Structure 1
Amino acid sequence: MKFNYTVLQRFIKYVKIDTQSDGSSKNIPSTEKQKNLSKILVNELLEMGISDAHLDDKGYVYATIPSNSDKKVPTICFCSHVDTSPDCSGANIKPIIHKNYQGEDLVLPDDKSVVLKTENHPDLKNQIGNNIITASGTTLLGADNKAGVAEIMDAAYHLINHPQLKHGEIKILFTPDEEIGRGVDHVDIEKLNANFGYTIDGETLGSFEDETFSADGMQIMINGVSAHPGFAKAKMQSAIKIAAEIIAALPKDRLSPESTHQKEGFVHPVNIEGQVENAQIDLIIRDFEDEKLKQHEDEVKDITLKVLENYPGASVEFKIIEQYRNMKKVIDKYPKISEYALKAIERAGVKPLKRSIRGGTDGSRLSFMGLPCPNIFAGEHAFHGKQEWVSEQDMQAAVRTIVNLAMIWEEKA
């Protein structure tokens, strides 16, 4: 199958558009500028001949490639997100193509202290001869997840222009606000009307992920005792100091992001604020097993109550917020979803790498909303920072994978 790839040109175009989301915003989507890219995507889809492509008022792009098969084929959705992380600037991105990479350090020109080295980016060793795309050193690149967006767009373009390639109905979904945990808050599942889905938002070439962390948020609300600091002896019980003691008492050599990997869960304080009288600690709790989430939460509660023993006038309240659950529970009920994806990766000339995600994707929540949705590689690396990179050849492999996957579902129907 011959491909005339458009993925690189699309990617370069898309990353120049600032689509950073904002976790402090109450708007939907959190930033209006995300729609600037979404409008372009809709226009490009319409130009391809995908007549129902549209952007809704909440910032979601929906589009349908009609089936060209006589068979009854399940409807498949391909999904990526348009927003970039708030962790690093996404304004005035200047993408740079480092052609025919030969293993050298990549010094980024706008801040020469930002250097990509193979010792820090081991996947670069597999990129010899490829074209590496980075930003210029002062921003992130936006490969997370505009690589996935560009790959879905190029795959759609290829299928539309090669009607001899048989496939069932294909749905395209581009979401806002994934980076701030709201990516599927307002997806219209009924309108999408797909049987199975795939997010294109993974890292290393060939990776396929059908398992994520399960996730809770935890809030610890501390009520201290306020008093005038000049007359506070034996009276004041500072909520700020109590919060600091709780955080200091959390495990350091286990159960923390800094000391865990692979399938190990963790407890992670992400925010603290307060005054003498009241303070709040926000934590995220992560594990691949739902039962262990409660164990971790109980341990945090025990640590907190132990600290409070020294502050008899203070009190504490706990709040647990379910965030998402391990999608493997859903996806395992439909083994063809994974089987066909791994076959599509192989057919693209790539060795499949089955992995677990120490995090979540839009697919985590979509799976529990009725759309089983594992994650396929997009080629993005070192996301959320100035050293983010992707290779043109890995993006091309993702395009081939998407096209092959659409065809395999039709073949097996």
Structure 2
Amino acid sequence: MASSVTDRFLRYVVIDTQSDASSPSQPSTEKQKNLGHLLVEELLEIGVSDAHLDEHGYVYGTIPSNSPKNTIPVICFCAHMDTAPDFSGTNVKPQIVRNYQGGDIKLPGDPRQVIRVAEHPVLKDLIGHDIVTSDGTTLLGADDKAGIAEIMTAAEFLIKNPDIKHGAIRILFTPDEEIGRGVEKVDLKKLGADFGYTLDGETAGTIEDETFSADGVEIVIKGVAMHPGFAYGKMENAIRIAGAIIDRLPKNMAPETTQGREGFIHPTGVSGVMEKAKLSFIIRDFTEDGLKQKEALLETITKDVLKAYPGSSHTFTVKEQYRNMKVVLDQHPEIVDYAEEAIRRAGMEPVRGSIRGGTDGSRLSFMGLPCPNIFAGGHAFHSPIEFVSSQDMEKAVKTIVELAKLWEERA
């Protein structure tokens, strides 16, 4: 099984599937469909007869129930096909460090890229594992092609072993998760699931039932343009105003200075000319109140800065992105409890965690499909030092199989 899931993973990561937040289309990049077409072909080959790719880039498929029980809930297993725009995903060259024996891992394509034990202590738990990395010039794509490979391998295993009884299982692979649009056009009626599990987490054994709540903020500054030779006492440079707002942000409220359950205000883009500038932010917190407080603080900073520029004005626009899925999952505790039991059956001690980010499950939960997040085994996502253990991917496959068995047993 470890060999099978790794072989699949290696096939998938070399396909460039980066999403693009600036694109208005769905999917945001057509190249994501290249992986979608391959996945449909493979699903059809293993016996998922209804597998298909729709016009929006979603892959759907069904493993029918093989149990005489008719009260088994329909489970969805979900992973996303796109990789993050944060670092290049073009021309990925995966390598395998077989039977890892400890120490830092130097990546051959860029000597500056080293996976250091001091920065990634989880490596101490991976002695003897086969560790897959990129060559250091691109990200690897374990986020979330590891999850895809695990779902595909589990699907094949269940189909080839009909003595393992399970209910109906829906498979969903999504585009554009990394840019927050992963489930915007998913057809939940067609999916027909009662609840789901995303395979998009990190350390083996982890089940996550809580995410950040998230908003985006856009501030547009309208300054006063003037010829620089005649600007004294008249020009109000929108670029300088934007810089002043960024400079006033609390240093202890940034992604690089927060951890655990602390939220942040994070500038993600700035552009403009003398007359007009635009600032983009993401705001994150585990509570709705914390989110609103940070947004109020950002607007107060903006207004305070603009007091020194009486001829200038601004707009402040908040766009909801996703909300903490724990609000929904706490109403369905058995979904997480069964995942913990499946992790135990797969040979691990479950660890319940919170995500300093979001998943497709965040949005799906509030759309009516409660959906916690299970580990996929990857680490150092969105970076050239991303890595994943073959053995941890195998553990995720076993967890999926045990979950399918568990829901059938207890129906």
Indicate the residue corresponding to 2:375 in structure 1. 377
1:395 matched to 2:393? The reply is yes
Rounded Cα–Cα distance in structure 1 between residues aligned with 2:248 and 2:171: 47
Cα deviation code 1:36-63 (max 9, x no counterpart): 1111111111111111000101110000
- In the alignment, what sits opposite 2:362? 364
Q: What is the TM-score of this pair, normalised by structure 1?
A: 0.97
Question: Is it true that 1:181 corresponds to 2:180 in the alignment?
Answer: yes
Does residue 91 (structure 1) correspond to residue 84 (structure 2)? The answer is no
**Shift in Å at residue 285 of structure 1?**
0.8
In structure 2, relative to structure 1, the CA distance for the partners of 1:351 and 1:225 (3 Å cut) is: same
Residue 141 (str. 1) matches residue 140 (str. 2): yes
Amino acid at match of 1:131: D
Match of 1:6, SS?
helix
How big is each residue's C-alpha offset from its partner over 1:78-132, in whole Å with a ceiling of 9 and x where there is no partner? Answer: 0001111112221221111111101022111122221112111111110001111
Q: CA deviation at 1:293?
A: 1.0
Where does residue 326 of structure 1 map in the other structure?
Answer: 324
Match of 1:347 in 2: 345
Map of 1:232 onto structure 2: 231
SS across alignment from 2:21: coil
**Hey, what's the Cα distance between the residues in 2 that align with 1:339 and 1:188?**
27
Q: Which residue of 2 aligns with 1:106?
A: 105
Unpaired stretches in structure 2, ≥5 consecutive residues: none
Local SS of the residue matching 1:234? coil
Matches within 5 A, 1:152-191: 152-191=151-190
Supply the AA of the counterpart residue of 1:292: G
In the aligned structure 1, how far is the partner of 2:202 from the partner of 2:147?
10
Give 3-state SS (helix, strand or coil) of 2:369's partner: coil
User: Could you tell me how far apart the structure 1 residues matched to 2:98 and 2:184 are?
Assistant: 40
Runs of 4+ in 1 over 2 A off after TM superposition: none
Q: Give the % identical residues.
A: 61
Q: Residue 338 of structure 1 aligns to which amino acid in structure 2?
A: V
* CA distance, structure 1, for counterparts of residue 318 and residue 214 of structure 2: 10
Quote the Cα distance in structure 1 between the aligned partners of 2:112 and 2:280.
Answer: 33
The residue aligned with 2:293 is 295
Give the conservation status (yes or no) of the 8 Å contact 1:5–1:154.
Answer: no
Shift of the alpha carbon at 1:26? Answer: 2.1
Q: Which stretches in structure 1 are left out of the alignment for 5+ residues?
A: none
Aligned with residue 262 of structure 2, among 261, 264, 269: 264
Distance 1:181 1:4, change over 3 A: closer
CA RMSD of aligned residues (A): 1.1
State the number of aligned residues: 410
- Give yes or no for contact 1:98–1:132 (8 Å, CA) kept in 2: yes
1:29: which partner in 2? 27
* Cross-structure match for 2:275: 277
For 1:289, the aligned partner's letter is: T
Q: Secondary structure at the match of 1:148?
A: helix
**Paired amino acid for 1:307:** V
SS in 1 for 2:62: strand
Q: Is the 8 A contact 1:130 1:391 kept in 2?
A: yes
Whole-angstrom distance in 2 between the partners of 1:205 and 1:137: 23
TM-score (norm 2): 0.98
Are 2:53 and 2:59, in contact at CA under 8 Å, matched by a contact in 1?
yes
Residue 34 of structure 2 corresponds to residue 68 of structure 1: no
Deviation at 1:345, TM superposition (A): 0.5
